[in-house]
Amino acid sequence: MVLAEATRRLASVSDSPRLDAELLLAHAIGISRETLLLRLRDQTVPAEFESLVARRLTHEPVAYIVGHRDFWTIELAVGPDVLIPRPDSETLIEAAVRHFGNKGPRAVLDLGTGSGALLLAALDEWPNATGVGIDASAAAVAVARANADRLGMSGRAEIRQGGWKEASVGRFDLVLCNPPYIGEDEPLPIDVVRFEPASALFAGKDGLDDYRTLASLLRLPPDGIACFEIGSSQAAAVSALFRERYFRTTIKRDLAGRDRCVIVVPET
């Protein structure tokens, strides 16, 4: 069977070879994976499938091959100009939902928006909110704008090129940020280091350079909250940086039980 053979071959480059094979075959056919699994016996395997498998065998991520990735309640177009949105980052949205409940924030700022994942997920969660996504990369800004347009959120989401200084605006009651946090010498999977943008990954020797800048710039209204993604070993160091700037911090863990989000609020 074609799927079984593809799964066997992909096991050398993937921890989820069967899932990868199913996603690639569904993409080649032009249907969803769910439809593929329901109608597998009825499908003809396109010639394109072999070329997709060959790309995955070079460690190219499936999300880049098929061109999209699910995140929270939305589907995002992705490519090598932006990081692939990961379930770990949903921890930031979960923290915001716990803080705001159904009422939601009024204005959202997503710093280093990339594909627009955090901003657009927040706006999908709270239809009355508006937001701004900032990224230093013009190519990433183009990806995020296209995602906002496709999701019908361009009227509520402003995407523009910029840097961390936007954290000092102070008018956003929800700030979301998944900054670069990998140390220069930290090992990474081949899929990541070979294909995903280095500028969105690495942050100096210890991986904390961008948090240092963000902590010095961040301004929040009295009822505001900021949620920063962190590496699983960085909770204490990142929290200390924000506490030095007179913020209070708490930690939220991801579904695997790893520290993943530093929640920052103004000192009262």
Domain covering 2-58 assigned CATH 1.10.8 in the classification: yes
Q: Which two tokens stand for residue 100?
A: 């705001």
Tell me the C-alpha to C-alpha distance, in Å, between residue 45 and each of 1, 58, 106, 125.
10, 21, 48, 38
> Confidence band (pLDDT; 50, 70, 90) for 41?
confident
What pLDDT does 202 receive?
Answer: 97
Tokens 């949105």 -> residue = 85
Average pLDDT, the chain: 96
Tell me the HSE value of 195 on the side-chain side, using a 13 A CA sphere.
Answer: 19
Q: State the Cα–Cα distance between residues 265 and 210, nearest whole angstrom.
A: 18
Least reliable range by pLDDT among 10-19, 33-42, 49-58, 195-204:
33-42
Report phi then psi at 58, rounded to 5: -85, 5
pLDDT in tens, 133-174: 999 999 999 999 999 999 999 999 999 999 999 999 989 999
Nearest-CA neighbor of 175 among 115, 224, 208, 230? Answer: 224
What pLDDT does 183 receive?
Answer: 96
Q: Do domains 2-58 and 78-266 have the same CATH topology?
A: no
What pTM, to 2 d.p., does this model score? 0.95
Tell me the C-alpha to C-alpha distance, in Å, between residue 164 and each of 74, 97, 111, 150, 253.
26, 24, 7, 26, 25
Topology (CATH level 3) of domain 78-266 = Rossmann fold (3.40.50)
Q: Which two tokens stand for residue 57?
A: 């065998």
- Residue spans of the domains in the chain: they are 2-58, 78-266
| Amino acid occupying residue 66 | V
